[in-house]
A and B are shown apart, each in its own frame.
Chain A
Amino acid sequence: MAQTEVQTAEATIGAAIRQAVEDAMHRDERVLVLGEDIEHMGVFAGLHHTFGTARVRETPISESAIVGASVGAALGGLRPIAEIMIMDFLGVCMDQLANMAAKLRYTTAGRTHVPMTVRAVSYGGGGFGSGSTHSQSLEAWLMHVPGLKVVYPSSPADAKGLMASCIEDDDPCIFVESPVLYGVRGEVPVDPGFRVPLGRAAVRREGSDVTLIGYGRTALDALAVADQLAPEGISVEVVDLRSLVPLDVDTVLASVEKTGRAVVSHLAVEFCGPGAELAALISERLFGRLRAPVRRLGGRPTPIPASRHLEPHWYPSVESTAAAVRAVVGS
C-alpha cells in the first residue's frame, strides 16, 4: 500500500501554537483571543494585525476577568482562548476555572457548557531565575478539578495538534506551555486539519527494562536519560503523556506491564503531584507484575528559590533522573 506523504515544515513550539490559533481563527469566526499585553509579548504578539482588535483583545491585569469573561463568552456561543501570561497567576482566577468553567456542564446537566482554552505559560524548569511566584508548574491543581482538561506538550507537532484539539473541544481545556521549550524545533504537519487527540500518550522510545514517564520538559529529559543509560545496558522506554486529563491509562499500563518498572518525572511538586496518581494507578493495577516500587521525581517541598544557582537543584534533572532509573533497575 502506498504511503501518503505528510507534508511538514520545521517550526518551534511557539510558532506551532501560533499556527494552530491562526488556522482556527481563519476557519471559525467564533474563535477569539484575550490576555494581558498580547499585542506585544508572547505567542500572540502581532496577531491583531491579521485579525483586528475585536478578536484579539488586550485586557487589564485582571486574571479573574480574563477567565470569567472567557466563561461568559463561551456560554454566549464563542470559543475564547485566554492567555494566562504566567501560570502562577492561576491563583488569581482559580475560582472562575474551578467553580465556573469546570462545573457548569455538570451542574446544569449539560444545558450549558464552556468551550474555552486557557494557555497557561509555565516558566518551570527553565532556570530563568524567576523565583517562587513566576516559575511553578501547577498542573496538579487543575487535574484535581473534575470538568477541566489539561494538556502539556513537549514537541512542536504536539503543540500544534493539541492546541487545535483544545480549541475545537467542547470543554474547558488548559494548555500548559513551557517557554523553556519554545526554542525546540521539529517537523510540524502543515495541514490545518492536523490534530493530536486529547487523552493519547506517545511512546517516544521503546525499551524493555523500565518505563520512564514524563511530559513537557521532562519528556525530553527522559529521551536524554534513555540515551545516557543505553551504553550501560539499561533499556528505557519513554512515555510522553502529552495529555494529563484525560489520562491515557492504557498506554501507561501497557508499557509498565511490559517493562515491570516505572519512574515518573515532572516539574510539579513531588508531594501529591501527578506522579503520585500515576504511581498509585500503576501499583493498583499491576501490583503483581512490578519488579520494583514505582519511583516519583518532582519538585522539592519548598517554594522555588530565585537564584539561578539554586533553582536547578529544585527540579529533577537528567542526572538525577538517570540516577533514579539506575536505582530502580538495580533494585
Chain B
Amino acid sequence: MSVDVRRRMYEVMAVAKAADERLRKAISTGEALVTYWPSRGQEAIAGALAAALRREDWLVTTYRGLHDQLAKGVPLVEIYAEALGRATGASGGKGGTMHIADPEAGLMATTGIVGAGVPVATGLGLAALLRGDGRVAAASFGDGAMNQGAFHEGVNLAAVWQLPVVFVCQNNGYAECTPVERSTLVTRLADRAAAYGIPGVHVDGNDPDATYEALREAVERARAGGGPTLLECETYRFFGHYFGDTMAYMPADELEQRRAEDPVVRYRERLEAEGALPRDELERIGADAVRHCDEAFAAALAAPLADPATIDDHVYAEVR
C-alpha cells in the first residue's frame, strides 16, 4: 500500500474526527441548536472510501454520514451551513444533515430512512452499467438497515443484474438503541451475502488499511463487471444514536474500552511506528484538520440564515 494512499486516509480520518468534535462542541455549548447523528468512531471506513473510490464514483450514505460526505469531498463549510440552516448550506437549509448531496463530488444522496439508500445505489449501478462509463456505485449503511426490506430487495436486484455496486455495511453495533445481537441471529452480517449469491466480506472496520484493501477489491470487481459485493466493516459508534441521547443502553465498560481503541489515534500511531509518515507530518495533518474545521464552522455560523422566501422553491422543476 502506497504512502500516498495511507496519508490520504489519515487526512480524511483526521478531518472526520475534528469535524464531528467541532459540531458536538457547538451543540454542547449551546452555540448551535442542531440535531446530529455522530459518526465519531467510524472514521477508518471513511478513509478507506476516500482512497478506494474515484471522485466520479457514486456514493449514497445515511443521516450518520458526515464522515462519508467528507470522504467523497463535499465541502465541510457547506455541510456545517446546512446543519445550521444557513442559506449557504449544501441544500440551502432545506435538507438538514439528513439530506446532503453534491453530485460533482459523487455524493448522490443522503437518506433519512434506514435502508432506503440501498435500492437507490442499485439504480445508480444500473445507470453506470447502461452509460458504460466505468463508474461504480456504493451504498453506505448501518447494521440496522440490513433488517429493512429495502436492503433485501436492493441487494438482490443488484445481484440478479450483476451491477457495479458495493454495499458497505458500517456495523457499529447498534441499530439506534438496539444492539445488533438483538436485531438478528446472524453473527457475521457479511454471511447474508450468501442469500444473494454474491461475495460477502467481513473486515475490521477500524483498521483503515484492511478496510481499504477489502473495499478496493470489491470496487475493482464491480468495475470489471464482476457484480456487487457485500462488505461488512465492523466498527463502533462512540456516541448515541443522536447526540444528546442518554446512551444508557451502551455498557460503560464497553464504551470506555472501545473509545480507548480510537481508530484515528491508533492509525496515527501505526503510521509513525512503521515509519510510513514522520511524526511532525502526522501532527501537522491533525492540526490542519482542527483548524480547517474551526474555520469552516465560523464561516458557516457567519453566513445568513435561509430566507423564508425560498420555502416554496425546488418542489418541482417549474418555478412557482
> A-side interface residues toward B, CB under 8 Å?
32, 54-55, 57, 59-60, 62-65, 67-78, 80, 95-96, 99-100, 103-113, 146-147, 149, 169-171, 246
Taking the closest CB of chain B, its distance from the CB of A72, in whole angstroms, is 2
Contact between B153 and A65 (Cβ–Cβ < 8 Å)? yes
Question: Which residue of the partner chain, among A67, A80, A104, contacts B101 with CB atoms under 8 Å?
Answer: A104
| A309, B126: Cα distance in complex, Å | 46
Contact between A75 and B120 (Cβ–Cβ < 8 Å)? yes
Taking the closest CB of chain A, its distance from the CB of B139, in whole angstroms, is 9
> B-side interface residues toward A, CB under 8 Å?
58, 60, 90-92, 94-96, 98-103, 108-109, 111-113, 116, 118-128, 130-131, 137, 149-150, 153-154, 156-157, 160-161, 313-317
Give me 13 A-to-B residue pairs in the complex whose CB atoms sit less than 8 angstroms apart, sorted by A's number. A59-B157, A65-B122, A65-B150, A65-B154, A68-B119, A68-B123, A69-B154, A75-B124, A76-B58, A76-B108, A77-B127, A100-B116, A109-B313
Contact between A106 and B94 (Cβ–Cβ < 8 Å)? yes
Within 8 Å CB of B96, what residues of A?
107
Contact between A107 and B317 (Cβ–Cβ < 8 Å)? no
Question: Which residue of the partner chain, among A68, A113, A169, contacts B120 with CB atoms under 8 Å?
Answer: A68
Q: Which 4 A-B pairs have the closest CB atoms?
A: A72-B123, A76-B127, A68-B119, A69-B123
| A84, B131: Cα distance in complex, Å | 25
Instruction: Tell me the number of A-to-B contacts counted with CB atoms below 8 Å.
Output: 160
| A234, B128: Cα distance in complex, Å | 59
Given contact pairs A95-B113, A96-B150, A72 touches B127 in the complex (Cβ within 8 A): yes
Taking the closest CB of chain A, its distance from the CB of B303, in whole angstroms, is 14
Contact between B130 and A106 (Cβ–Cβ < 8 Å)? no
Contact between A76 and B131 (Cβ–Cβ < 8 Å)? yes
| A238, B130: Cα distance in complex, Å | 45
Contact between B316 and A105 (Cβ–Cβ < 8 Å)? yes
Taking CB as reference atom, which chain A residue is nearest B102? A111
Within 8 Å CB of A103, what residues of B?
99
Taking the closest CB of chain A, its distance from the CB of B211, in whole angstroms, is 24
Taking the closest CB of chain A, its distance from the CB of B38, in whole angstroms, is 21
| A80, B130: Cα distance in complex, Å | 12
Given contact pairs A108-B90, A112-B101, A60 touches B157 in the complex (Cβ within 8 A): yes
Contact between A72 and B122 (Cβ–Cβ < 8 Å)? yes
Within 8 Å CB of A59, what residues of B?
157
Contact between B314 and A170 (Cβ–Cβ < 8 Å)? no
Given contact pairs A64-B119, A72-B122, A96-B119, A171 touches B317 in the complex (Cβ within 8 A): yes
Given contact pairs A60-B157, A62-B156, A68-B116, A146 touches B315 in the complex (Cβ within 8 A): yes
